[in-house]
């Protein structure tokens, strides 16, 4: 019997089967390869993405009433010994023992090791503490302030205080104005409607926002048709206000170092002590005023003590000459980076209630040759006039300031 199979058909069939076999082989190989390659899950993908992000090593805490440094560091898994080591640093001890509510504390911590600490002291000052491995190093960084020269003026209708309020003078500027002319005009009895004042002063700004009013540089007060002019000028280490001819217009020392509301306790040799409840000398004057009110040095002098003094609390003592020194007590805090030498009117601290104080006030003590005198009856001498050697520099300053005093708009300096 004759074979009926077509050779061409057989070849095509064989070729088709071979191609099908090769395709199946490639498909199986691909499936095996895919099964060996793991595709990350969603959670694994998130984990890998998170691992690529840089972790934030800084921890932040806003100080609450009653917070202590030890408690905060403990929350950050740091030991009590770390707190003790920090507080061995003088600046850290000064600012971190009594933390101020509302301020910010930041820490850079790696593997339970404190590398850096930042504490916001106030709007302009930040305490920076860095780990030097064997000890901590601390500095106070000041945010830069800019200043502008501004003028302000007003006509007096009833009294100087009302006119100053109308002219938007800050309490500090009002105090400066009255201090400047206190030895010239009796503000309680001599001021009349129609009198006029004009001042040139510095205004300080932080990040283009008003921070505080600074010093009066020049002032005019017209009283009973007579105009008194004062020019601020520094001679060596002495700063004061002078007439256009160079005579000192003020006493050598300020009468009051704060803008106060009342005398809560006068100078007395026989006062009933409100804390110890017994008769004892009160060798100073207590000027009641709210906590945080700036305290100004009454003159140019040298700081001989800054610290805690038993019942006086936070205290500063300034020597003004070989015979006279002043004691400022019960402060809430000192000015950061208080200089060794302070100028008349310079802020040295802020009113508080530290030590044996029953309310916020400044205790002012004046001592002459070691003996306490009543600050309210003490008559300071008048300052020295401009010398011949200083007259050229004074005249240049006078002309510049009086020209600016006549301007009506502020000028950036």
pLDDT digits (tens, 9 = 90+) for 170-184: 988 998 999 899 878
What distance in Å separates the CA atoms of residue 197 and residue 223, rounded to the nearest whole number? 9
Q: Is the Cα dihedral 346, 347, 348, 353 positive or negative?
A: positive
Hey, do 146-250+384-412 and 262-373 end up sharing a CATH topology, with the first three levels equal? no
Backbone angles phi, psi at 209, to 5 degrees: -115, 140
User: Of the ranges 61-65, 109-113, 225-229, 285-289, which one carries the lowest mean pLDDT score?
Assistant: 109-113
* pLDDT classification of 155: cutoffs 50, 70, 90: very high
Residue boundaries of the structural domains of the chain: 58-142, 146-250+384-412, 262-373
Q: Does domain 146-250+384-412 have CATH number 3.10.450.350?
A: yes
φ, ψ for residue 98 (rounded to 5)?
A: -115, 95
Looking at residue 174, what is its pLDDT? 92
% of residues, the chain, pLDDT over 90: 48
Q: Of the candidates 319, 290, 288, 289, which has an alpha carbon nearest to the alpha carbon of residue 303? A: 319
Q: Which fold has domain 58-142?
A: Nuclear Transport Factor 2; Chain: A, (3.10.450)
Whether the pLDDT of residue 283 is over 70: the answer is yes
As a dihedral over the C-alpha atoms of residue 278, residue 280, residue 285, residue 287, rounded to 10 degrees, the angle is: -10
Give residue 325's pLDDT: 97
% pLDDT > 70, the chain: 83
- β-sheet bridge partners, residue 282: 268
pLDDT at res. 22:
67
Most confident of 239-253, 272-286, 312-326: 312-326
Q: Any idea which fold 262-373 has?
A: Glucose Permease (Domain IIA) (2.70.70)
Predicted confidence (pLDDT) per residue in 353-401, tens digit: 999 888 999 999 999 999 999 998 888 777 789 999 999 999 999 999 9
Confidence of residue 44 (pLDDT cuts 50, 70, 90): very low
């Amino acid at each position: 019997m004759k074979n009926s199979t077509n050779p061409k058909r057989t070849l095509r069939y064989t070729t088709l089967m071979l191609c099908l076999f090769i395709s199946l082989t490639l498909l199986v190989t691909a499936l095996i390869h895919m099964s060996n390659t793991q595709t990350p899950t969603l959670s694994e993908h998130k984990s890998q993405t998170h691992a690529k992000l840089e972790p934030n090593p800084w921890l932040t805490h806003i100080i609450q009433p009653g917070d202590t440094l030890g408690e905060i560091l403990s929350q950050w898994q740091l030991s009590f010994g770390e707190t003790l080591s920090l507080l061995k640093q003088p600046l850290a001890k000064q600012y971190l023992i009594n933390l101020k509510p509302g301020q910010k504390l930041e820490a850079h911590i790696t593997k339970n090791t404190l590398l850096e600490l930042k504490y916001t002291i106030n709007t302009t000052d930040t305490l920076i503490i860095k780990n030097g491995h064997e000890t901590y190093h601390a500095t106070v960084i000041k945010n830069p302030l800019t200043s502008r020269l501004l003028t302000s003026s007003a006509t007096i209708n009833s009294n100087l205080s009302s006119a100053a309020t109308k002219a938007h003078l800050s309490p500090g500027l009002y105090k400066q104005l009255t201090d400047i002319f206190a030895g010239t005009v009796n503000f309680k009895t001599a001021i009349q409607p129609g009198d006029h004042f004009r001042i040139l002063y510095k205004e300080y700004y932080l990040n283009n926002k008003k921070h505080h009013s600074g010093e009066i540089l020049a002032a005019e007060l017209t009283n009973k048709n007579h105009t008194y002019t004062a020019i601020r000028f520094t001679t060596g280490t002495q700063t004061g206000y002078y007439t256009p001819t160079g005579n000192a217009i003020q006493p050598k020392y300020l009468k009051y170092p704060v803008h106060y509301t009342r005398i809560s306790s006068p100078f007395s040799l026989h006062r009933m002590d409100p804390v110890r409840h017994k008769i004892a000398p009160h060798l100073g004057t207590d000027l009641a005023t709210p906590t945080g009110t700036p305290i100004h040095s009454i003159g140019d002098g040298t700081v001989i003590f800054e610290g805690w003094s038993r019942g006086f609390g936070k205290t500063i003592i300034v020597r003004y000459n070989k015979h006279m020194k002043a004691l400022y007590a019960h402060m809430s805090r000192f000015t950061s980076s208080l200089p060794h030498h302070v100028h008349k009117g310079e802020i040295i601290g802020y009113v508080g209630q530290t030590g044996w104080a029953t309310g916020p006030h400044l205790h002012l003590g004046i001592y002459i040759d070691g003996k306490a005198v009543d600050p309210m009856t003490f008559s300071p001498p008048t300052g020295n006039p401009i010398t011949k050697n200083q007259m050229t520099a004074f005249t240049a300053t006078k002309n510049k300031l009086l020209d600016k005093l006549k301007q009506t708009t502020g000028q950036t300096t």
